[in-house]
Structure 1
Amino acid sequence: MAADHNYTEASIKTLSALEHIRLRPGMYIGRLGNGAHAEDGIYVLLKETIDNCIDEYTMGFGKRVEVHLAERTVCVRDYGRGIPLGKLIDCVSVINTGAKYDSKTFQKSVGLNGVGQKAVNALAHSYRAQSVREGQCKLVEFERGKLVKEHKVQASDERNGTYIEFTPDEQLFGANFAFRREYIEEMLWNYAYLNRGLTLNFNGKNYKSEGGLKDLLTKKLTGETLYPIAHLEAEDIEIALTHGGHYGEEYYSFVNGQHTTMGGTHLAAFREGLVGTVRNFFGKQYDAADIRQSVVAAVSVRVQEPVFESQTKTKLGSTDMGPKGPTIRSFITSFMQQHLDNWLHRNPEAAETLRKKIEASERERKELSGIRNLAKERAKKANLHNKKLRDCRVHLDGKDKRAEESTLFIVEGDSAAGSLTACRDVQTQAVFALKGKPLNTFGLTKKVIYENEEFHLLQSALNLEDGIDGLRYNNVVIATDADVDGMHIRLLLISFFVKFFPELLTNGHVSVLETPLFRVRNKKKTIYCYSEAEKQSALHQLGKAAEITRFKGLGEVSPGEFKDFIGMGIRLEPVSLKHVTDTDDLLGFYMGKNTPHRQNFIIENLRVEKDLIEA
C-alpha cells in the first residue's frame, strides 16, 4: 500500500466544543431530519430544553412550564429557581458545565453531562436565554452558538425561572424543516403523565395528568383490554399494564422522565419480572412468549446518575439504581413479585382472564409450529430470499454506528426494485420487492403469515418471528406508486402491520416514501414537485415554457433521479396509531366487507382531479 505523504502535523486538528457539535451533531442529538419524524433533531432540541424545567419541578421548584411555537421559533419558560445569573453564559454555552454533577442538587436528573443545552445553542440559528432570580434578571443572546450580546443585570418583578428561545439552524436541518405540533403534544403529554401535578402549557392549551401512567396507557390503547389496567406504584417506580386482543408486545418505558424509546435494562427487567411473577402466581411454567403476548405496559423508574447508551438517551445502559443502590434487575423484579402478585390476588376475575389469554396463546403457538416449519423448508428449498430481498450490510441488530439508519424499502414489482437498488446506499438501504398486491389480512389469524409465501418472506426479512427485539431495520419504508393501485398496496401492507406487528407502528418504525409527481425543468435547472402546488411554484420560477414530466410510477424514475429521493432529501410520512382508538374498528371499516357505511363515506368524500387542482 502506498504511503500517504500528505499525512503531516498539519493534518491533526483540534476542534472547539462548538465546532465539534456543529460538525458532528449526530453525536449530540442523534439525527438531523426535517421534522417529519418524532425523533428528528429539532424535537431533541426542544426535549433537552424542557428536561431542565422538569428537573427543577422534580426538585420541588415550579409547577408550570410554558411552551410557545411560532413558525420555527420555540420559547420555553419555567418557574423554577432560575440559572444563577453569574453563570448564565457558561450554563448555556460552555460544554461540561452544570449543577447536575452535584447529586445533592439534582438527585435523579435525566441530564447529567452538561451537554444538552449547549447543543441546543450550538445548533440554533438564534438563541436567547434569560434567568430571573430574586428580583433580578439577565438576558444573553447567541447566533450559531456564538455570544452576540450580553445584557446587563436589571431589576425585575417577574417570578423566578428560566426563559429559553431558539430557532433551529436551517443550514443544518434544511430549508424545509418544520415542527409538527402533534409530536410536540405527544412529548408534553408524556411529561404530564410522568410528573403528576405539573401543568405544561403549549400555545394556550394545558397538559396535565392526575392518573399518571394509567392515564398514559388509557390514551395509548387502540382496542379493548381483556381486564382493567393494573396500576402499581412505589418509591422510584411506577408501572401500568394490561393485555389486549392484538398480536405482539407494546411498551412505553421511561427513566427519570426521559422516554427511552429503545428500552434498556429497566425494560428487560420488567419483562423478566412479569414472566416470573405470572409463573409463580399460577404455579405453571408458561412460555415467556405466551405470557407477554398482547401485553401493553408503561414502565417508569427513577435512577440516580443514569447511564444511557447515547447522548439522545433513548436506551438505558445502567445496571444499578444508584452508586449504593440495588441492581435495576433485582429492584424491578422484586417490585413485580410483590405488587403484581398482590394485584392478581385482589382481582381474581382479571387473573382468570389472564390465564385464559396465556393458554389461548399457547394453543395458537403450538398450532403454528408445524406450519412454521413447512414454510421455512419451502423458503429454503426455493431459495426465494435472494429474489425478494436485496439486503444491505448494516442492520439494527448489529453494533455498527449507522445501525439506526438501516432501512428496508418495500416496493411493488421488479421495475421499481431495479431503479431503487441501482442507486441505494448498499451499507444501510435494503429493498424488498412485492410481486403484486399482497393478501388482505383482515379477519385472518397469524397462520396466514406462514401459509402466504410473500408475508412469510417479508417477516423473515424483518426478523420479526420472535418479536420486535430482533428487528433488522430501524426504518420500514413503503415505497409504492402514487396511483390507485399503489395506494391500495399501501393499505394492505399497513393493515398487515397493524394486525400482526402493531409495535412497529407504535415505535415509529413504519413510513411511506413520498416520491415526486412531476419533474419541471428548463436548460438550467430541474425541480421535482410532490404536489400540484409545488408544480405551479416551479413553473412560476422556471417559466411557463419549462418542460413538465408526470411520473406515473417509481419504475419510470431513472436510478440517477431516484438517488435524490432516497438520500439526504428523502421525504417520509410516518405511519402512526396515535389518533386511533380501536384498530379493529379501523381495519373493519377500511378493509372489511364493502358495507353501505363505507360506500356512503366514499361517495361523500369523492374528489375529482379538477376539484383538487382548483383547491
Structure 2
Amino acid sequence: MPKKNQSYGNESISMLKGADRVRLRPAVIFGSDGIEGCEHSVFEILSNSIDEAREGYGHEITVTRYSDWSVQVEDHGRGCPVDYNPREKRYNWELVFCEMYAGGKYHNGEDASYEYSLGLNGLGLCATQYAAEYMDVEIHTGETKYTLHFQHGENVGGLKKEPSTAPSGTKIHWKPDLQVFTDIRIPVEYYEDTLRRQAIVNNGLKFVLKNQNGKKFDTQEFLYENGIADHVKEMAGDDALTSVQSWQAERTVRDRADKPEYHVKVNVALAFSNKTHLTEYYHNSSWLEHGGAPDKAARNAFVYQIDSYLKQNNKYNKNESKITYADVEDCLILVISSFSNRTSYENQTKKAITNKGIQEAMTEMLRHQLEVYFIENPLDADKIAAQVLINKRSREDAEKTRLNLKKKLTSNMDITSRVAKFVDCRSKDVSRREIFIVEGDSALGACKQARDPDFQAIMPIRGKILNCLKADYNRIFKSDIITDLVKVLGCGVQVKSKANKDLSSFDMDNLRWNKIILCTDADVDGFQIRTLLLTMLYRLTPELIRQGKVFIAESPLYEIHCKNETYFAYDEVEKERFLKQLKGQKLTIQRSKGLGENEPDMMNLTTMNPVTRRLIKVMPSDATATGKTFDLLLGDNLSGRKQYISEHGREYVEELDVS
C-alpha cells in the first residue's frame, strides 16, 4: 500500500472564518448544496419578513423571481436595525449580515422582540448573504433610508444612509451564488407552494409573487382570511363526511421537569372525507415536512379517541383487531398550526420539531376536543366511526390478498411440479440460468432438443396471453398462463391498485434467471405474442426491464441455401446483402419455418447457442415512450389507436403476412 502523508500535526488544524464558513460548507446550514439548499436560503429571508408581519408590522409581503435567477423579498415591517449598537459596540448591519448567531430573537421573556418566530438561530440572513453572488439591501425606518451592498459574502462600500419619509420596510435583492450552490434555478412552483403554505398559516397576510416572464411580470396573490380553516374547507369540498371543525388552545408547558416553562399556541382545523385525505403540520408557520411532535400527538389522540368510541358503542366485530392511525388518516383532512417561544427543531432546515411539552399539550388538547365533538355531534361520530372501520377492513382484506398472492406467486415449492410443461435446467447458478419463453407445444419440443440442458430452461405459452394493459389485476391473476409465468420467474410482482392498496410482492433477489428470453415466430402472430409478453412484464415486473434481464431471440426471416451452405437473413436488408454476395451461384430462398418446424440442430444454431444466436436486449432507456406506445396500441384509447393507424398504417403494409 502507498504510504500516507505523515505530516499530520499541530499545524494541520485550521478554522473556517467569515464567509468561508458558509461558502465552503453550505449543506451544514441549508441542508444541501443543491437546489433544495438554495430554496432554503430563500426561505430564510422570507421568514424574517413573516416574523415582522406576525408581530403586526405590515400586511403584505412581495417576492419577485427574476429571469436571471435572482430574488427580491420586500416587506412593510419596522425595517431591520442596522445602525450603531452601543451594547455590542458594533454596527448592527455587521452583526445581522456578517455574524453567525446574531439576531433579535434569542430572548423569551417579556423583553422579547418577537413572541413567536420562524427564525431563532441567527443564521439565516447572514448565511444567505454569505452564499450570494451579490446582495443589495434597502431599509426604511420612516425617517431614514439605509443601503448596503455585498459581493461574494463581503461588504462593499459600508453603510449608506440618508433622510427619508418613505414608509418603513425592508427590501433585499440577491442572487444565489453558483460558486456555492450546484444549481440556483429555483422553479416557480417552489415559490407558489411556499407562499401558498405561508398564507394558509398566517391569517390575513397577503403574499404577492411576481415572476419575470420576458419583459413583463406575471403576478399571483395568496391570501387566506381564515387561515387553516379556509384551507381545510377548500380541500374537503362540498361533499365531505363532516363539516370543518376549528379548535384553538394555549398552554404553558415545559419539556422536562428541570427545564424552563414556555408558551405554546395550537390551532387545529379538520374534517373527515371518504374521497380526500391530507395531513399538514406547521410550527411558527414553518411547514414540518417530517412532522415530529405534532404527528406523534395526532396519531395518539385520534386512534385513542376513535377506538374508545368504537368500543363504547360496540362497533367492533367479535375478536376484531384495533384500528390503526392509517385507517383514520385515510379519511382525515387535518392541519395543525402551532406557535411557541421556545422550539427544538431537528436541524436548521426546520423539517420537524421534537418538543416534548408541545407534543403532550397537543395530545391532551386533541383528545379532549375529539371527545367533546363526538358527544355533541353523534351523527358525525357515527359517520366517522363507520368510515374508519371500512378503511380498516379494506386494509386487512388487501393485506390478506397480498399475502395470498405472494404465496401463490413466490412459493419455494418445486416449480417443475406446479407448472405444466415447464422444463427446468440443471444448474442452480442464477448467473448462468436462462429461460426461453416459447410459443406452444411444437416449439417446446424443438427448443427442448436444441437447448443446453445444463443452463437453459423452456416455458411454453399456450395461446395468446391476456392484454395486461386492458385487464384489471383480479382478471390478470386469474389467468393460469400469467400466474404460471410469474411463478417460474420467482421474483413476484410490482403491483399497486386502488382496490387492493398494495399487492406488490417483488424481490429481485428471488429472480431465478439471469436472462429471460422471449422466443416467438417471425410472423404477425409471433410478433403479437411477443408484444403481449412484453406488456405483461412492463406492467407486472418493470424492474426486470430496467435491470436488463429481458431479451428477444431474433428468429431468421429467410433461409438461403447455396451448395452445402445455409445462410440466415434476419431482415430484408440482410437478405439482399447475401444475394449480392452469392450472385451468380445457384440459390434457393425460403421463408424460415416456425420454431416448431425447425430441426434441433438448426434451432440450436439460430436461436439458442450463445455463440451463434442473436439476442435483442430490451432497454429501459425510453421506458416512458414505450409505456405511451403500449397504452396507445394495446390500451383503452380507441380513438387514439384509430387515428394512429390512419396516419401510420401504410408504413407497415409490406410487413403484413397476408396473401
TM-score (norm 2): 0.57
From the superposition, tell whether residues 556 and 441 of structure 1 become closer, same or farther in structure 2 (CA, over 3 Å): closer
- 8 Å CA contact 1:263–1:314 kept in 2: the answer is yes
CA–CA separation in structure 2 for the residues paired with 1:194 and 1:145: 33
Cα distance in 2, alignment partners of residues 308 and 114 from structure 1: 14
Contact 1:238 1:299 in 2 (8 A): yes
| Structure 2 equivalent of residue 540 of structure 1 | none
Counterparts in 2 of 1:148 and 1:272: CA distance versus 1, 3 Å: same
C-alpha contact 2:129 2:153 (8 A) present in aligned 1: yes
Q: Which residue is 2:438 aligned to?
A: none
What's the counterpart of residue 314 of structure 1? 351
Q: Whole-Å Cα distance in 2 between the matches of residues 165 and 601 of structure 1?
A: 55
Paired position in structure 1 for 2:120: 112
Kept in 2, the 8 Å contact 1:440–1:591? The answer is no
Match of 1:331 in 2: 361
What CA RMSD, in Å, does the superposition of the two structures yield over aligned residues? 4.3
Cα distance, 1:347 vs. partner? 3.5
Corresponding position of 2:165:
157
Q: Which has the higher contact order (CA 8 A, sep 6+)?
A: 1
1:270 maps to 2:298: yes
The change in CA–CA distance for 1:345 and 1:441 in structure 2 (over 3 A counts) is farther
Whether the 8 Å contact between 2:268 and 2:336 is mirrored in structure 1 is yes
**Alignment-mate amino acid for residue 284 of structure 2:** N
Matches within 5 A, 1:219-258: 219-220=234-235, 225-235=240-250, 236-245=265-274, 250-258=278-286
CA distance in 2, matches of 1:590, 1:232: 50
2-structure distance, mates of 1:368, 1:378: 15
Candidates 60, 64, 67, aligned match of 1:64: 60
Alignment correspondent of 2:155: 147
Q: Distance in 1 between matches of 2:353 and 2:139?
A: 32
List 4+ stretches of structure 1 deviating above 4 A.
1-4, 218-224, 375-383, 437-445, 451-459, 552-557, 589-593, 598-603
Q: Matches of residues 239-388 of structure 1 in structure 2 within 5 Å? A: 239-245=268-274, 250-284=278-312, 286-288=322-324, 289-319=326-356, 327-375=357-405, 377=407, 381=411
Give the 3 Å change call, closer, same or farther, for CA 177–379 of structure 1 in structure 2: farther
In the alignment, what sits opposite 1:188? 195
* Identical positions, percent: 21
**Separation of aligned partners in 1, 2:221 and 2:373:** 33
1:594 aligns with 2:641: no
Separation in 2 of the partners of 1:441 and 1:231? 45
Aligned to 1:77: 74
Q: CA deviation at 1:200?
A: 1.3
- Greater Rg over alpha carbons, structure: 2
Q: Any gaps of 5 or more consecutive residues in structure 1?
A: 35-39, 320-326, 384-413, 415-436, 467-484, 497-511, 513-551, 558-588, 608-615
Question: Aligned pair count?
Answer: 426
- Counterpart amino acid of 2:291? G
Quick one: structure 1 residues 155 and 291, their matched pair in 2 at CA, closer, same or farther if it must change by over 3 Å? same
The answer to whether the 8 A contact 2:410-2:492 is kept is: no
CA contact (8 A) 2:410 2:491 kept: no
Per-residue CA deviation, residues 287-325 of structure 1 (Å, 9 max, x unaligned), is: 124333333321111122211111111111222xxxxxx
Query: Which amino acid in 2 is paired with 1:206?
Result: E
Deviation at 1:493, TM superposition (A): 8.2
Cα 1:58–1:246 shift into 2, 3 Å: same
Amino acid at match of 1:329: Q
Determine the structure 1 residue equivalent to 2:227. Answer: 212
2:186 equivalent in structure 1: 179
Which sits farther off after the overlay, 52-61 or 336-345?
336-345
**Aligned 8 A contact 1:56 1:80 in 2:** yes
Instruction: Give CA-to-partner distance per residue, 1:463-496, whole Å, 9 cap, x none.
Output: x989xxxxxxxxxxxxxxxxxx9xx99xx989x9
Question: Matched residues in 2 for 1:361 and 1:19: separation?
Answer: 53
Conserved 8 A contact 2:206-2:221 = yes
Shift of 1:336: 1.2
Task: Report how far residue 281 of structure 1 moved.
Answer: 3.4
Amino acid at match of 2:26: P
Return the alpha-carbon distance in structure 2 between the equivalents of residues 358 and 290 of structure 1. 6
CA-to-aligned-CA distance 1:86-120 (integer Å, 9 cap, x gap): 11232122111100012221222121110011111
Find the residue that maps to 1:171 and give its secondary structure: coil
What is the deviation of 1:150? Answer: 2.1
Matched position secondary structure for 2:6? coil
Partner of 2:19: 18
Paired with 1:224 and 1:186, the residues of 2 have a C-alpha distance of: 25
- Offset of 1:5 from its aligned partner? 0.7
Match of 2:176 in 1: 168
